Amino acid sequence: MKWLFQATVEQSLAGQTRYVLSQLLESLASLSHPSPPYELEDQSEIALSGAAWENLRRGRTRMRAKIPKASVARGMAPDEWLQPLFSQAIAAYFDSEPVLDPAQSKSPPEIHQYHLGQALFMDSKFEAQRFRRDMAMMARNDDTDHLSLQYFVRGSNKVVNGSAEYLEQPGNIFAVNLAYKIEALSEDSEVLLLVLPRELVRREIPQLTDALGGIFAQDSASAQIFSHHMVALKHCLARATASETSSITQGTLGLLGALVQGGDITASAAQQATLRTMCSFIDRHLRDPGLGVESLCSQFRCSRATLYRLFKPLGGVREHIQRRRLMACFKAIALQAHRRIFDVAMDYGFVSPSHFSNLFRDYFGMTPREAREAGNQPPQVVTRIELVPAPSSVMAPAKDDAELMWEWGRTLAKTGTIPTE
């Protein structure tokens, strides 16, 4: 009897092992030969009622739906139209133009973009380009002040971003901060980008809120690890499902936060949580004239030394508060044309018109009045690319995808869902 029982158990375990292996092989086969979006198994294999089958079909459809993707690439439109379409695709972030005459182009630009719900991932190739984001553009697009993390697979880009100048090149991850002015000149390049809305950065990785330039030491282990992660995203997102977007985004942010913070992970997690809470408190109390070192120490029951240490990655607590107040003033001045400029400044604790004007000009590169004039300009409408005299099937998909990428950039800060239309 004992032998019979043992044999039965062994047979059962062997059956379970075969089942697990079969499921694993099936999963690997599906990755090697991914099925198209919304593909369902043969309905005849399972005997279900009409209602039950419909519920199952909907569930599988949701599970198998691919991550929304938009592209501008060769074969989607005539080559001479790919540069204008590329410029439209990234128009939420920059004005762009090629260095060479498009007629001399040997390889038109290409861009693929995935919407991850709370972030955007892009894979792009382009010949030498000029990129620009000036204060007038920022005033008209104040909801696109995202942080763009960029990895140059090849090529380079000379960037002036706010007060910082840096050279983007392989071997590091670079933070291009859209809350600041940008002038950039690139050579022929291939770039992977992860675009994060400012609120998400401030909540999850506050150390990068005001980041400009390289975020790791050049060619360091941390830089290499996250660079490899960006390459993995490029290769895997095409076959990932929409149901995986949250875990992909959170996993990416978790890896990035750990690498940026460095040191003891347990201690850094607690420090990050405290810093996030403090930054949120600061943003809610920017109009409070008493906001400062003393009030923060009192509110969070910490010493000055602890406070200074927490805000060191952000340039200092007083500097961070001043930057946040200046940014709030900029938005209010640009959008609230009916209010006197200095009345807005006083709302945020500035008591001297000349001192405020000097700080504003040093920080933004323009006077408060110039910001007001920029905000009063009519909203910029991205030029809709007219169809060339060719069958719509040749041009329309690329045109629609370029406009969709532009719209994704404009609405990223406002949505926690994945817009597909």
Work out whether strand 213-214 and strand 129-133 pair parallel, antiparallel, or are unpaired: unpaired
pLDDT at 418 over 50: no
The closest of 219, 232, 231, 225 to 171, measured between CA atoms, is 219
pLDDT in tens, 35-68: 444 333 333 333 444 554 455 455 554 557 899 9
**Which fold, 69-262+382-414?**
Jelly Rolls (2.60.120)
pLDDT in tens, 270-282: 676 688 788 889 9
Residue 190, helix vs strand vs coil: strand
CA–CA separation, 285 and 277 (whole Å): 13
- Name the CA dihedral angle for 266, 267, 272, 278, rounded to a multiple of 10 degrees: 140
Q: What phi-psi label fits residue 366: left (phi over 0), alpha (psi between -120 and 50 degrees) or beta? A: beta
Give pTM, 2 decimals: 0.67
pLDDT at 385 over 70: no
CA–CA separation, 420 and 404 (whole Å): 8
The answer to which of 2-6, 177-181, 218-222, 236-240 has the lowest mean pLDDT is 2-6
pLDDT at 182 over 80: yes
The answer to which of 100-114, 115-129, 272-286, 337-351 has the lowest mean pLDDT is 272-286
Tell me what the mean pLDDT of segment 389-395 comes to: 51
Sheet containing strand 174-177, strands side by side: 69-72, 110-115, 120-126, 189-196, 147-154, 174-177, 213-214
The pair of structure tokens assigned to 238 is 């095409």
Please tell me the total number of residues recorded for the chain in this structure. 421
CB of 87 within 8 A of CB of 60? no
The closest of 355, 352, 354, 356 to 333, measured between CA atoms, is 356
Provide the mean pLDDT of the chain: 80
CA–CA separation, 327 and 371 (whole Å): 11
pLDDT in tens, 196-219: 998 899 888 888 887 889 999 899
User: How far from the centroid of its chain's Cα atoms is residue 226's Cα?
Assistant: 15
pLDDT at 247 over 60: yes
> What residue ranges do the domains of the chain occupy?
69-262+382-414
Distance from the first to the final alpha carbon of the chain: 66
The answer to which of 97-101, 312-316, 336-340, 375-379 has the lowest mean pLDDT is 375-379
